[in-house]
Structure 1
């Protein structure tokens, strides 16, 4: 395990196959299912390049941790080989939503797919896997497991139990499979954070936030709530899962939990200081002398690197862009114009950027539009108005350069709120991210 350097390498096809073989689960159909699932995700654009939480890496992580934890003698739940085959199959397909209206899969769409796909059904049959049990296991991964969401899923689960010859009129076995589903649900939420260090955990949190269109100020807050809910309300099953995985993976998970809690404490401290007027934000237009300073550029790049990957425009030419006098730049400094740099706004002529080919901007090549890159701000300072101050200053800078329009990306709800206030208009909408391209007239 020490030779593996990344979570993706750890939860790889080869390692999954290795556990299957070492555990006596050598049916060729199980490996066929694995290869088929990988091909499905990649063919749907949900492979490693998809910047969303629910991609093939996550699916393999759930499958790997499921096998790792259920196939060990440390696990006190005494899983049978039949149990493991069913959990394995459900783990492989639990997030494959061919409709993909949003990043978070719709369980009913997943079930519709596996019920109608002849290849999947044939492989399940060869592996002696009951379709209805797999369906109910997937339904039990529904989150949150409360309120109407739970009630709808439970009704479907009851239908699965009634349809399966294994569980029909067998309350004891139904309860057994409900526990297996609960187990898979907890693995689903623990696995990614157990496979890597805190840097990896933060990447996962940002991927999830980007895919669910969360404001950056919510990332840490909701991550802490996520872990607290898991550890406080599902402590029994969490203990079963965590006690059955290797020490290093348990350590990774709890390091992630503690690190997010530490960040949340820091956020609250910053918010309190801001509320008490002990700190203030100073948007600053930087001189070209400063913009050519390597230390200044390095500081900005560190902040830039905190953005989710899809929001990082041309990282390879970042330094060059900072030095370019045609690029509009301002920073947000702490307390005064020479204070610590907390963030920055950057952009330039629309023609300087290569945008998504799905964007048809009628002003492209007319040299009348400035493109504002996504605002970059240090973690902990989102939601306090600093971004708005930088954006306002950027608009003023664009005015002085005689641009007629400004375009950028923002969350759909944010753009909607600007339609009346700034006469913003949608130019292109993107799903499932809901991170859309808009235009305002300057």
Structure 2
């Protein structure tokens, strides 16, 4: 900020205000969604860090607009899905008295900030693009600075283009592949995607960025520090490599060179620490909100009240590529919003989210393990099974399994449900 002439109190105050707002609305560092405070600060940081690129000549005034737009571009406190709605963002920055006061102190035009935020609409195509362009025209007309100034309007649109590409690069340049994979899982979890889409969608995202936004992404990456460029390209290559592995697994499965065998694990196997270690590694691939009993993982594996099935390759002694796990509802500390009427009655078994290695989702192994788990729960005289699943998956089970929603969660749409066994 100081290097880019943003040392005045009003800019520091905006930064502090943004952090306070995100935290107070539950969108701080603990919010498990892609569009949290970390994302907002990364975009702001990288947009200033790469400002010396050679494509657009930023004036000191441009940098002020870029900073404010980057800082607030995704702030949508009333979100019912993780992906921010640009119109909600604009409504907030127009109505919030404190922010308006800070923008006035900085002598900035709110309409120009709106244009920059609207240009970050993604994808910039189809109806989304048309709607954004219509609002951009209105903002240009409403501003004394841009109303009859076509070259300046074009310049603002170029700054918006720059910000939109920074928006898509930043998170993957500011950390290694482990961070990038966590971000991809956060995005999938918050947008209620099936796990089989995570890597496929990431590859499509990067290919589109590097093919359709070559011109802008090149100049941004060129001025970023070497370590950040390395992070970005390592991430792209790693996702592509994993996608190749996924396709190879799917090919083997369709040629019947590979079989997935659901297996009931006996207690003697479950006492082996190597068995627990193999399961724990797969468990860690789950998004963080789906990692139940993490602290007591190994002890729970050895607990005879817990049901554990694995998914093995080719035979019941083969490599473990997934598992299902669960036990009496009373053994679990679930989200405090959940009020399960059966809690304490000993008649309900809780099935933790299924865990599979990347590449093995979508091959029906998960549903086979789930059915095996339900059969075991039935033999143990449980009346009900509860678990979490995507909202559309639960809806599809209403007729087949008499599933019922117990508690719904937004924006994730990853809900708590019950079936009668």
Same fold (TM over 0.5): yes
Do the aligned partners of 1:328 and 1:346 also contact (CA within 8 Å) in 2? yes
- The within-5 A match list for 1:103-252 is 103-252=82-231
How far 1:435 sits from its partner (Å)?
A: 0.2
Q: What is the CA–CA distance in structure 2 between the aligned matches of 1:291 and 1:128, rounded to whole Å? A: 66
Q: What is the CA–CA distance in structure 2 between the aligned matches of 1:356 and 1:26, rounded to whole Å? A: 42
- The within-5 A match list for 1:349-428 is 349-428=328-407
Q: In structure 1, the residue corresponding to 2:350 is in which secondary structure? A: strand
Q: In structure 2, the residue corresponding to 1:315 is in which secondary structure? A: coil
How far 1:240 sits from its partner (Å)?
A: 2.0
Do the aligned partners of 2:120 and 2:164 also contact (CA within 8 Å) in 1? yes
CA deviations on 1:128-174 (whole Å, 9 max, x unpaired) are 22100100100000001001110000000011111111111111111
Out of 355-364 and 136-145, give the one that drifted further.
Answer: 355-364
Structure 1: runs of 5 or more not aligned: 1-19
Picking from 28, 31, 35, the partner of 2:16 is: 35
CA deviations on 1:55-108 (whole Å, 9 max, x unpaired) are 0000000000011111x3x54422111111101100111111121111111111
How does the TM-score come out when normalised to structure 2? 0.99
Q: In structure 1, the residue corresponding to 2:179 is in which secondary structure? A: helix
Q: What is the CA–CA distance in structure 2 between the aligned matches of 1:293 and 1:128, rounded to whole Å? A: 67
- The within-5 A match list for 1:44-59 is 44-59=25-40
Q: What is the CA–CA distance in structure 2 between the aligned matches of 1:257 and 1:365, rounded to whole Å? A: 48
Do the aligned partners of 2:48 and 2:67 also contact (CA within 8 Å) in 1? yes
How does the TM-score come out when normalised to structure 1? 0.94
Picking from 9, 25, 46, the partner of 2:6 is: 25
Do the aligned partners of 1:75 and 1:243 also contact (CA within 8 Å) in 2? no
Q: What is the CA–CA distance in structure 2 between the aligned matches of 1:105 and 1:76, rounded to whole Å? A: 28
Aligned to 1:11: none
Q: In structure 2, the residue corresponding to 1:342 is in which secondary structure? A: strand
How far 1:268 sits from its partner (Å)?
A: 0.4
Q: What is the CA–CA distance in structure 2 between the aligned matches of 1:264 and 1:76, rounded to whole Å? A: 33
How far 1:287 sits from its partner (Å)?
A: 1.3
Q: In structure 2, the residue corresponding to 1:336 is in which secondary structure? A: coil
CA RMSD, 1 decimal: 0.8
Q: What is the CA–CA distance in structure 2 between the aligned matches of 1:330 and 1:24, rounded to whole Å? A: 60
Q: In structure 2, the residue corresponding to 1:22 is in which secondary structure? A: coil
Q: Confirm whether residue 345 of structure 1 aligns to residue 314 of structure 2.
A: no
How far 1:23 sits from its partner (Å)?
A: 2.8
Q: Confirm whether residue 310 of structure 1 aligns to residue 267 of structure 2.
A: no
